[in-house]
Amino acid sequence: MGPYLTRRILLAIPTVLGVLIAVFLLIRLVPGDVVTQLVGLEASISPKRVEELRRLFGLNRSLPVQFGEYLSGVLRGEMGKSLRTGLPVGKELLRRFPVTIQLASMGLLAALLIGVPVGIMAAVRRGRAPDYVATGFVLLGLSVPSFWLAILLILFFALRLGWFPPGAYVSPAEDLTGNLARMILPAFSVGLVLAAAITRIVRSSLLEVLSRHYIRTARAKGLRESIVVIKHALRNALIPVVTVVGLQFGTLLGGTVIIEQIFSLPGIGRYALEGINLRDYPVIQGAVLAIAMSFVIVNLLVDLAYGFLDPRIRYE
Amino acid sequence: MRRGLISAVVAMLLLLTGQQITDAQGGPRYGGTLRAGMQTDPVGLDPHLSTATATRNMMENVFDTLVMVSSEGRYAPGLAESWTVSADGITWTFALRRNVKFHNGRPMTAADVVYSINRIRDPSTKSPRAPDFAEVDAISSPGPYTVVIKLKRPLSPLLAKLSLSLNVIVPKEIIERDGDLNANPVGTGPFRFVGYTPQQRLTLVRSGDYWEHDQNGRRLPYLDRIEFVFLPDAVARATALRGGSVDWIEYVPAAEVKSLQADRNIEVVGGLSANFRALYINNSRAPFNNVKVRQAMAYAINKKEIVDTALFGAGGIVATGAVIPPGNYFAVTRSPYNSVDVDRAKRLLAEAGHPNGFEADLYVTSTYDFLRTPAEIIQAQLGRVGIRLRITAADWSVYLPTMFQKQYSLSILGTSGQSDPDDFLYGNFHTSGGLNLVNYSDPAFDRLIDQGRAVVGDAQRKRIYEQAQQRLLETVPMVFLYHSTQYEAVRRNVRGFEHWPNTSYLGLRRTWMAP
């Protein structure tokens, strides 16, 4: 286990470095920089002034110089400062990550609570009404765009029924119930797609396991069906589920941009989006680095979870 | 007929009682928290270090300017109670208001004004507003309540620069301690800054000893507290207002205006906004170097059709004059091009040697819908007189540098954020204007604009600027199309909020909450 972990962590270093270089170059290939975005339609800024601003932002220096400076900062644990607000990127990331983690976790929880039971039901009642309902749900869940669902949820639950307050984010430290009330709709918006994916994988994986010989044996020795399904079949069916859930959770940690935007959540996705819109290089670099690192960590955790589920899997 | 009369009487009675109810309530009430839904975060909290409208709008009620500008664009006293200017237009003397305090309790004096303007001018501050005071030679304080600004040459728009609510008066000691005002924006304004959590909330509370009073002699502001929350998505912002979790929102999109107006709990405010959008014509490229061709285009274009179809009606106000929007004190509101005249356009084209028209490129940006969607309509309208347009669109980040290099024939563009006629006219049209992207150069126009800078006094300036706008309509450096609108929306219990065409939220100083 120990050597395995060390090897995985060492392998993560070139991955992260690759991401750093790719992001650094890619965002500079995109036309425009912070100055063009800043200028907008402002009346009083002339082309001459634009050049001057570019110099003030240090954007006229060569790329290797800029990258060297950035890399040495990252190695010292400094992510730089936002070109627009002057706020340190590292500190901002630490403030925003909890919001995204909460959204991703609540979304995942919602997805598991829906996806696993529906998937089991579909597999056990294969070819009958519950199965068709579940398959319909999968089709719907995977096809509905989450941003559209989010707007519908707001209009119906927040505006029509008034169950949840629309509008600004409240941190759990300020007001825990208020925070939870505001997070339910966003969590459901991201969770529904994931729930559909989980339903599908639970169903197919469970069907496969249920056709195995040891299940026939278990039934033959007179065990109740519920024990057969939950205790004997489900655990073995969970390995592909964990893979999917793990990858999806990684995606949620970086990919909830639209949901964060619609629900005004100050998470990492919105931070990255704001950075991209303003061509705020340090912000984009920092956000992508954080997202890449969380993906690497989640992947590692998923690999470790296999051993927990199936003791035959060994790490060396 | 009789029924009509009765309902008219009933309506009048209702109006009268309605009036009485408001009177019985006794006008503005003190107290309450206004929750305001904002589109974007401020870009830093130090007004001297930002060009962002968001920073200006959230901080302008924390700070004060020396001179203020009214909602119709006229100058009014701010921290300066009065001012005089020497006969040669070079020396401006401002008499300051007494008993004004910063939020840290220290009285504001002339030294603070001198410090603030010099901070903006100082290159090491890197203030984007430094060019505003490029014509200032020296600024001094001969007494604790007197400030003297000496200019290099006469410049009446100095008042516009001084009234811009990013050019505010700040306390020296906070900047000397913290380096800037980003953490502690301390001003003399009606509201005191309490705290800011990015992408969540910025809070202001009523400052107890703000100097300004309403017409009944009551102290301003009325609100106890303003909480700006950040709701970047336009639909979410409108929903939050409908659901009542905010009381006031900014930037209502044109497509939402009608549905919000239909909601009886909500009032949509505003419309008029200080900007212009025009068909930019590269005046030095053939065939556009011929004034007749440009006039022909102006006669052929139907501005109302553009606003009605491309902007859903609500997104713009037709440009009935020249560059300055209607409603502004200095605006010209008549133009020969307010009714379409295809025959005249064709005749002018024939006189210019293009009886069968010509082909031309229209280069637009795809980033802003309001600058993109008029393109096809203009194409169709000019097609009727034989001008065949090819449209190409580019992202803003590619488009703007191309425009700055003037590598285009025709485009749709305009600028925003002006307050003074000089802002509209100098930069965009003067031969040496920094944003003269149309290569316009007209000695008669330049003379008028130079003269306008040397003259003080609204009435006199108005006469000069009217002539200058007339000149623009004759020579057609661009075809003025429309002025983009900007709307705020409030819940019905929010009273007294006035929309400012220069998109400032100074109206919050007199806003109050009904029970």
- Complex ipTM more than 0.85, yes or no: no
Most confident of A52-61, A210-219, B396-405: A210-219
Nearest alpha carbon to residue B487 among B21, B39, B28: B39
Banded model confidence at residue A210, pLDDT cuts 50, 70, 90: confident
- The share of chain A scoring above pLDDT 70, in percent, equals 95
Does pLDDT of B128 surpass 90?
no
CA pair distance A149, A190, nearest whole angstrom: 9
Instruction: Please give the CATH topology (third level) of the domain spanning A95-278.
Output: MetI-like fold (1.10.3720)
Does A261 sit within 8 Å of B400, measured CB to CB? Answer: no
Mean pLDDT over each residue of chain A, to the nearest integer: 85
Give the pLDDT mean for A32-54.
70
Question: Nearest 5 degrees, angle CA B486-CA B490-CA B494?
Answer: 135
Give residue A39's pLDDT.
66
Does A44 sit within 8 Å of B246, measured CB to CB? Answer: no
CA distances from B85 to B158, B222, B455 (A): 11, 35, 10
CA pair distance B201, A81, nearest whole angstrom: 21
CA pair distance B143, B413, nearest whole angstrom: 47
How far off is chain B from A92, nearest CA to CA, in Å? Answer: 9
Give residue B63's pLDDT.
97
Nearest alpha carbon to residue B155 among B226, B78, B247, B85: B85
Banded model confidence at residue B360, pLDDT cuts 50, 70, 90: very high
Whether B281 and B410 have beta carbons less than 8 Å apart is answered as: yes
State the angle between helix axes of A146-153 and A176-210 in degrees (0 to 180), rounded to the nearest 10. Answer: 130
CA dihedral in degrees (B272, B276, B279, B284; nearest 10)? 170
Most confident of A45-49, B234-238, B492-496: B492-496
Banded model confidence at residue B211, pLDDT cuts 50, 70, 90: very high
Least confident of A92-106, A205-219, B8-22: B8-22
DSSP E strand boundaries for B259-398: 266-271, 277-281, 316-318, 358-365, 387-394
* B240 in contact with chain A, both atoms CB, cutoff 8 A: yes
Does B275 sit within 8 Å of A158, measured CB to CB? Answer: no
Whether A254 and A11 have beta carbons less than 8 Å apart is answered as: no
A54, exposed or middle or buried, with CB in 10 Å at 0-12, 13-18, 19+? Answer: middle
* A54 in contact with chain B, both atoms CB, cutoff 8 A: no
Least confident of A47-56, B142-151, B154-163, B498-507: A47-56
Give the pLDDT mean for A265-280.
87
> B341: alpha, beta or left, given left = phi > 0 and alpha = psi -120 to 50?
beta
Entry pTM: 0.80
Question: Within chain A, what is the greatest distance between any pair of CA atoms?
Answer: 86
Give residue A312's pLDDT.
78
CA dihedral in degrees (A104, A108, A110, A116; nearest 10)? 170
3-state secondary structure of B474: helix
Give the pLDDT mean for B384-399.
91
Chain B, 462-481: which have a CB under 8 Å from a chain A CB?
Answer: none
Whether B266 and B495 have beta carbons less than 8 Å apart is answered as: no
Residue given tokens 């007339």 in the structure block: B470
State which residue of chain B sits closest to A267, comparing Cα positions: B199
Give the pLDDT mean for A297-301.
86
pLDDT digits (tens, 9 = 90+) for B405-458: 899 999 999 987 667 899 899 989 999 887 899 999 999 999 999 999 988 788
3-state secondary structure of B356: coil
* B393 in contact with chain A, both atoms CB, cutoff 8 A: no
Banded model confidence at residue A147, pLDDT cuts 50, 70, 90: confident
CA pair distance B382, B281, nearest whole angstrom: 14
* B333 in contact with chain A, both atoms CB, cutoff 8 A: no
CA pair distance A50, B5, nearest whole angstrom: 65
Q: Which of A48, A165, A263 sits opposite B434 (nearest CB)?
A: A48
Give the pLDDT mean for B462-481.
96
Nearest alpha carbon to residue B282 among B40, B420, B416, B477: B477
CA pair distance A227, A241, nearest whole angstrom: 20
Question: Within chain B, what is the greatest distance between any pair of CA atoms?
Answer: 76
Banded model confidence at residue B303, pLDDT cuts 50, 70, 90: very high
Q: Which of A32, A84, A165 sits opposite B245 (nearest CB)?
A: A165
Give residue B9's pLDDT.
44
Does pLDDT of B1 surpass 70?
no
Nearest alpha carbon to residue A283 among A22, A23, A67, A9: A23
Give the pLDDT mean for B379-389.
96
CA pair distance B70, B500, nearest whole angstrom: 8
Contact residues, chain A, for B36 at CB < 8 Å? none
pLDDT digits (tens, 9 = 90+) for B320-358: 999 999 888 899 989 999 999 999 999 999 999 999 999
pLDDT, greater one: B382 or A173:
B382
* A271 in contact with chain B, both atoms CB, cutoff 8 A: yes
DSSP E strand boundaries for B39-133: 67-69, 75-77, 80-85, 91-96
DSSP E strand boundaries for B49-168: 67-69, 75-77, 80-85, 91-96, 136-143, 146-151
Mean pLDDT over each residue of chain B, to the nearest integer: 89
Banded model confidence at residue B24, pLDDT cuts 50, 70, 90: very low
Give the residue from A102, A264, A265, A271 with the most B CB atoms within 10 Å of its CB, the best one to mutate: A264
CA pair distance B189, B210, nearest whole angstrom: 6
Give the pLDDT mean for A51-69.
82
Domain with CATH 1.10.3720.10 in chain A: 95-278
Give residue A40's pLDDT.
61
* B122 in contact with chain A, both atoms CB, cutoff 8 A: no
Give the pLDDT mean for A259-287.
88
Banded model confidence at residue B118, pLDDT cuts 50, 70, 90: very high
How far off is chain B from A176, nearest CA to CA, in Å? Answer: 16
* A179 in contact with chain B, both atoms CB, cutoff 8 A: no
Banded model confidence at residue A116, pLDDT cuts 50, 70, 90: very high
Give the pLDDT mean for B369-389.
95
Banded model confidence at residue A41, pLDDT cuts 50, 70, 90: low
Q: Which of A40, A151, A266 sits opposite B235 (nearest CB)?
A: A151
Whether A245 and B217 have beta carbons less than 8 Å apart is answered as: no
- The share of chain A scoring above pLDDT 90, in percent, equals 22
